[in-house]
Structure 1
């Protein structure tokens, strides 16, 4: 499993996931690679509990809260949105590199 380039405070991540009803929390992108730098954001792939839908405003709140936890700007995408993404290169890149830190698949 690739090691993130920043500390991931698992107790806070677990509480965050429970609060937002997230069943899977994975990192992908530069946070798992050597090109992660001081200005890099943290890319996160999440799956919500069945029946949970969040608005754009809630997504902004979720990203803001997560940014405080990880100490960097966080960008969150849902597994469902990536699986439906017509850009197969992006879809394959994210799904093949995502490393799970919370939950079950």
Structure 2
């Protein structure tokens, strides 16, 4: 895919993924396009190990931690939510424009 336009601490990202049982983490959206700038947030798609069963509070904690790693606002989206989406255009667009950051 395209160039990843966002900087992050690779070791911190790996620790985050191990702690939260992330199987795969991918960038999508403007972080992969030329229109990404200092004001842009980072769109992240995650899939989890089958045994991961996170609460809403866990999700908020994950979001806060990943914001620290990237140093900017983050939209954290689960792959399963995208796959269940009733919007076929959005689902196809997101799933066909991914750049992996972490794969377990």
TM-score class, shorter-chain normalisation, is over 0.9
Name the SS of the counterpart of 1:47 in structure 2. strand
Aligned positions, number = 104
Aligned to 1:80: 80
Residues 35-57 of structure 1: CA deviation (Å, up to 9, x unaligned): 11221110000011012121222
Q: Which moved more, 1:95-104 or 1:27-36?
A: 95-104
Distance 2:46 2:29 in 1: 14
Q: Which moved more, 1:47-56 or 1:79-88?
A: 47-56
**Segments ≥4 residues shifted beyond 2 Å:** none
TM norm structure 1: 0.93
Output the aligned Cα RMSD: 1.1
Unaligned runs of 5+ in 1: none
Aligned to 1:67: 67
Superposition deviation, residue 33 in structure 1: 0.5
Unaligned runs of 5+ in 2: none
Name the SS of the counterpart of 2:2 in structure 1. coil
